Copies of this chain bind each other. A is one copy, B any other.
Amino acid sequence: MDITTIVGIVAGLVVIVISILIDGDIGSFINAPGVMIVFGGILSATLVKFPMKEMISSMKIGFEVAIQNSKNDPQYIYEKALEMSGLVRKGGLLALENVKIDNELFQRGIGMCTDGHNLEVIRATIDREVLMSIQQQEMGETLWRGIGDMAPAWGMIGTLVGLVQMLANLDDPAAIGPAMAIAMLTTFYGAVIANLVAIPLADKLGIKTEYDRMTHELIVESILQIQQNQSPAAMGEILSAYLPTASKGGGASKDDEA
């Protein structure tokens, strides 16, 4: 799921660089004071907006989302749940003791299940874990959305600084063009940060949060069904409602025989 994030950002930068190189050189697009005012301004305003601690953890969440794959694959959980349901039918809940699940949360829930905890306790534990990671992702979304809102504004502030300086010193007409080119660079930086990085990243964090919320429901429902010794067939029908659209094809066509 998440390789696209990096591919997208890199592809966007490549597209911009190529379109620059066609008609000129990359050098006229790099300007240290411009970079400083846009990045410095965004960082300063973010410091005013968020408490320091949350800023750092949200930055981290943003990077993790960008690089790592989601730990939650609903299709995997769906299939594992059906498999375990079969085991429980044959050997009771204890048959699950040695099952290895490639999902920490699900593993832990099943572990509590075989330890004889009741569903309320298991649900509360899973809820708390999931809520924690969802809250962090929502904070990450808010932070990146905020950067996406501020980047164009700080780009404009940088351009205004450049324009005022250029206009105040109109002595040398030959200098007007390059000075204005530099002034416009900050607007360019702000637009790229907002539209290639910050807003798309915030959107992806939002989609991923929704996705994790669905998977969470799927895990809790799976454990409930396993505890109640549900048949794999009935379970497949119930759980398939929690699968996202793309992976639902197989489950849905089975309904005809239901």
Interface residues in chain A, defined as those with a beta carbon under 8 Å from any beta carbon in chain B: 1, 4-5, 7-9, 11-12, 15-16, 18-20, 22-24, 28-29, 33-34, 36-37, 40-41, 43-55, 57, 108, 121, 124-125, 128-129, 132, 135-136, 139, 146, 150, 153-154, 156-158, 160-170, 174, 176-178, 180-181, 184-185, 187-188, 191-192, 194-197, 199-201, 203-204, 207, 237, 240-241, 244-246, 248, 252, 255-256, 258
Contacts and interface: CB of A to CB of B under 8 A. Distances in A.
Nearest to A111: B256
So how many copies of this chain end up in the complex? Answer: 5
A22 to B, nearest CB: 5
A201 B166 CA distance: 32
A177 B170 CA distance: 6
B4 A51 contact: yes
Contacts of A41: 12, 15-16, 195-196
Contacts of A241: 128
A33 B30 CA distance: 20
Nearest to A201: B48
A7 B49 CA distance: 11
Contacts of A7: 47
A36 B48 contact: no
Nearest to A128: B252
A184 B165 contact: no
A68 to B, nearest CB: 13
